[in-house]
Structure 1
Amino acid sequence: MELHVQGTGPAAPFLSARDLFETEHDLSLPVRVRLRDDPDERTWAGHYDDRHVLNISRRAASSAMARELALHEFAHMARYEEDHPSHVQSIEEALYLALAGRDVERRKLAHCFQIANHMKDIYADDITLSVGPGEKLLSYLESSLAAAIADRARATPRDDFERVTTGADPDITAVNAAFALALAERNDIIDEDHRLYDLADAAAVDAPSVDADEFRTRFRELGHDPDPSGYRRHLVQATRSYVDGDGPAAD
């Protein structure tokens, strides 16, 4: 696996991630790591005919999660090279199939893209967690979800609905929580008494129109080797479930 780190900053996390990745996988195309000045630059990978490009801020490259972030992006590159349906299926096409004839809020549409990216991440992290430990990823999922949930005590139960979280959009926060649990359970990196379960419960209470358990099951049970039509069908179903959601079914 050919790796080039461009820009001033640490190279060690990327070299370490490469060594770990190469224990079970390889990439045909070279990887260029571009260290960005903007501390808020998100970490993302670009795929081209002759190379992959990993874009990451210097701050992220110097963080405790740097190796894990790089390993995660290498996994996306591997899925792209193998033409995995999750990485070559057009999200726009799937959303068009799912939402044709529907009037969808702009925020909901943005959330649908995020759900599609969660499905891509599930398949990338099947690779990530097959070669590396999951402790840091689990801590990252926990802290990210906690940051999206308000630091206020759970409201006393009452007949009318009262939010127990504030700030982040409650609907997509509930889906994000379902994704985090699904990823952890799918790869067996979480204990049943982990705090992530309590955080996910709080997120679900604030999103009565979202069936969080359904999304958790949907993400966790994604087939490991889907065909293109099957994957597209799952993406369409997930999109419709979110947009048309009426919340959990009554017992």
Structure 2
Amino acid sequence: MDIRLFGSPSPDPFLSAVDLFETEYDLEKPVHVSVRDDPDERTWAAHYDDRHELNISRQAATSAMARELVLHELSHMARNEERHASHVQSTEEALYLALSGNSVERRKLAHCYQIANHMKDIYADDITLSLAPAEKLVHFLESELARAVAANPGPSPWPDSRLVTADADPEITAVNAAFALALVERHDLIDDDHRIYDLAHAAADDAPNVELPAFKRRFRSLAADPTESDYRKALVDVTRAYAVGTGTGGSAAAD
């Protein structure tokens, strides 16, 4: 696997992630890593005909989660190369199908993109969690959810892109909680008395129009290898449920 680092990062977390990744997977395209000084860049991947790009903030690249963040993004790249339905479906197309004919608040539309990313993350983390210990990820999910429930706006203590809720919006925080529970239950990572359940219940109490168990079920039950049609339907259903209120007890929001 060809990985090229730009921005003078320490190579250790990147090489460590590659070592883990290559025990089971490989990438045909080279990976260009750009380390950026802006902490708001966090971590994200882009895919091109001739390469993948991994953009990561210097804060993230030097954090305790660095190896896990890089491994997560490599997993997204693997899903992209295998043309997994979750990584070839256009989010814009799915949102058009889900929300056509409805007037939806801008904030909820933005949240729908986050929900779509959660669904991609489920499939990336199916790879990540097959390769690396889960303790840091569980701690990240718990910490991020605790921060959001406490409604304490500000920079995330864990520089990642997966569960950031900068303004602690109660409704998307409840969906984020559902995603966190779905992920840990999908991989049997925690016991029934783990603190994350209490945090998720608190998030649900703050957002009575969001049925947390229903969203958890949608995320957790995603088929491992869906057809493009089945995945599109799942994405349409979950975004419509959140933005329009189908199955959540809510209603269409005014623009």
Using the size of structure 2 for normalisation, the TM-score is 0.89
Identify the residue that residue 39 of structure 2 maps to in structure 1. Answer: 39
Q: Which residue of 2 aligns with 1:74?
A: 74
Percent sequence identity over aligned pairs: 68
Whole-Å separation in 2 of the counterparts to 1:241 and 1:9: 42
Larger Rg: 1
Q: Structure 1 unaligned segments of length 5 or more: list them.
A: 153-166
- For 2:146 and 2:171, the matched residues in 1 are separated by 15
Of residues 225-234 and 186-195 in structure 1, the stretch that sits farther from structure 2 once superposed is 186-195
Counterparts in 2 of 1:228 and 1:151: CA distance versus 1, 3 Å: closer
Q: Deviations over 1:159-186 (max 9, x none)?
A: xxxxxxxx51100000000000100110
User: How far apart are the structure 1 equivalents of 2:187 and 2:249?
Assistant: 25
Structure 1 consecutive aligned stretches of length 4 or more whose deviation exceeds 3 Å: 246-249
Alignment partner, residue 157 of structure 1? none
Aligned residue pairs total 236
In the alignment, what sits opposite 1:19?
A: 19
- 1:248–1:182: structure 2 CA closer, same or farther, 3 Å change rule? farther
SS at match of 2:27: coil
**Per-residue deviation, 1:149:** 1.3
C-alpha distance in 2 between matches for 1:9 and 1:130:
26
Matches of 1:101 and 1:151 in 2, distance apart?
A: 33
> Which protein has greater RCO, CA pairs closer than 8 Å, 6+ apart?
2
2:208 paired with 1:237: no
- Say if 2:151 and 2:168, in contact at 8 Å, map to a contact too: no
CA contact (8 A) 2:44 2:55 kept: yes
Q: Deviations over 1:24-70 (max 9, x none)?
A: 11100011111111122220011111111110111111100000000
Q: Partner letter of residue 215 of structure 2? A: F
| Cα displacement string for residues 120-176 of structure 1 (whole angstroms, at most 9, x for unaligned residues) | 000000000011111000000111111111279xxxxxxxxxxxxxx5110000000
CA distance in 2, matches of 1:37, 1:108: 30
Equivalent in the alignment of 2:174:
174
Which structure 2 segments of 5+ residues have no match? 153-166, 251-255
Query: 2:156 maps to what in 1?
Result: none
Contact 1:72 1:125 survives alignment (8 Å): yes
**Partner residue of 1:163?**
none
CA RMSD across the alignment? 1.6
The letter for the 1-side match of 2:44 is W
CA pair 120-151 structure 1, distance change in 2 beyond 3 A: closer
Contact 2:141 2:180 in 1 (8 A): yes
Q: Distance in 2 between matches of 1:207 and 1:39?
A: 30
User: Which residue of the partner structure matches residue 6 of structure 1?
Assistant: 6
Q: Tell me, what secondary structure is at the counterpart of 1:40?
A: helix
Query: For residues 57 and 97 of structure 2, what CA distance do their matches in structure 1 show?
Result: 36
Q: Normalising by the residue count of structure 1, what TM-score does the alignment of the two structures yield?
A: 0.91
